Amino acid sequence: MKRKNYILIFLLLVLIVSCNLHKDRLNVDISDIKINEIRIKRYDRDLFNIKVNNLQQGLESIRGKYLFFLGTDLSDARKLAEMSDYLRNPRNIEFHRASEAAFPNLDNVEKDLTYGFRHFKYYFPKQMIPEVYSYISGGDYDTPVRLADSVMIIALDTYLGESFKPYLSDGLPLYRVKRMTAEHIVPECMSVMISQVCPSDQTAVRLLDLMIDSGRQHWLLDAVLPGLPGYIKFDYTPGQFDWVTKNESHVWAAMIENRMLYSADGKVVRIFFSDGPNTPEFGKESPPRMGEYLGWRIVKSYLDNHPEIPVQKIIADTDYQSILAQSGYKPSK
């Protein structure tokens, strides 16, 4: 009888350990994580509501709310002239009006940012949650989200979608314009936060190193925004994400067979990290930057198989060969 009890206890322990090992480590309890609800301050709206003919007084009326932008001498004639030019610029006016129409409110963005920041605070409790502002950049496409100390600013005019004609007129490629949508705002905000705690490894040169280095940033994006669709995370179309999911084993096999994994050759790296409409070597339906996807899959496998490893370790670890070896990564055919 006792022997049967020991067996039952043993089996129960095995079951518990097994469950813990396969527990989704992204399913964390943030009920005790308290932060202020995110409220985005609409600098874009308040600034363009000012009467340009009475500019200094108008700026003074909103200065207290927007010291980050207006914490200078508002009586300076040169600065007032620059602000007047900015507000009278037909291009900026067009971008503002389109942003106002697209974003009459930012309720959903604020809700999702609060959700993301609470998860961020769970993993990085000592990090400061920034004040968030929106503004009109006039087409600063390369930096749609900026983070400066305790302030985050979002260029709403960089998220107006492919129907906004100035994007293509400015020479932006269509594949890039397709990702300039409202659903990318929060992931890009959180990616900027992640870059502060997990900056890119500037010493990484081999393809494997670059893959895992970028892969952990994508895994952290999963961690702070659990449930984020994969195609959004990688700036793919749904069809491209479906393609790489189905063809992952073939891409990995090609990488191994052609001895690319440990290559530091710029041509090889570009195949798997260059942006564009696709990866030409794998056909028109393939997505670009597949090194990021495969790196994410390796990191995910590593952390899924080693739940005891804290997030901080994967951030600091630059032994990329060891991470691969311990990941057990093997894409199914």
Give one DSSP letter per residue of 142-188, joined into a string. T-SEEEETTEEEEEGGG-S-TT-THHHHTT--HHHHTT-SGGGHHHH
Tens-digit pLDDT profile for residues 129-177: 999 999 999 999 999 999 998 999 999 999 999 999 999 999 999 999 9
Give me the mean pLDDT over the 95-119 stretch.
98
Taking 80 as the threshold, does the pLDDT of residue 9 lie above it?
A: no
Sign of the alpha-carbon dihedral angle for 326, 204, 315, 221: negative
- How much is the average pLDDT of 225-234? 97
Give the span between the Cα atoms of 188 and 49, in whole angstroms: 28
At residue 10, the pLDDT reads 42
Q: Per-residue pLDDT for 77 more than 50?
A: yes
pLDDT of residue 71 exceeding 70, the answer is yes
Residue 84's pLDDT band (cuts 50, 70, 90): very high
pLDDT digits (tens, 9 = 90+) for 182-206: 999 999 999 999 999 999 999 999 9
Query: CA angle, corner 161, sides to 159 and 166, nearest 5?
Result: 90
User: Which tokens go with 176?
Assistant: 């890039």
Mean of per-residue pLDDT scores for the chain: 93
Please give the share of the chain, as a percent, with pLDDT higher than 70.
93
* 220: its two tokens: 């952290």
pLDDT at 72: 85
Q: What is the pLDDT of residue 23?
A: 58
> pLDDT class for 40, splitting at 50, 70, 90?
very high
pLDDT in tens, 240-266: 999 999 999 999 999 999 999 999 999
Write out pLDDT tens, residues 306-315.
999 999 999 9
pLDDT at 21: 44
The pLDDT of residue 89: 97
Question: Where does the pLDDT of residue 8 fall: very low under 50, low under 70, confident under 90, or very high at 90 and above?
Answer: very low
Which tokens sit at 189? 């905000």
Provide, rounded to the nearest whole percent, the portion of the chain with pLDDT above 90.
90
Residue 329 pLDDT grade (very low, low, confident, very high; cuts 50, 70, 90): very high
- Residue 171 φ/ψ, nearest 5 degrees: 90, 10
Q: Tell me which range, 9-13, 25-29, 70-74, 274-278, is most confidently predicted by mean pLDDT.
A: 274-278
Instruction: Give pTM, 2 decimals.
Output: 0.91
Q: Which structure tokens are listed for 47? A: 């600034």
Strand 145-148 versus strand 151-155 pairing type: antiparallel
118 within 8 A of 35, measured Cβ to Cβ? yes
Domain parsing of the chain, residue ranges: 23-49+89-197, 207-327
Buried b (16+ CB within 10 A) or exposed e, 224-263: bbeebebbbbbbbbeebbebbeebbeebbeebeeeebbeb
Given this model, what pLDDT does residue 73 score? 87
Q: Is the pLDDT of residue 6 over 90?
A: no
**Per-residue pLDDT band at 3 (split at 50, 70, 90):** low
In this prediction, residue 200 carries a pLDDT of 96
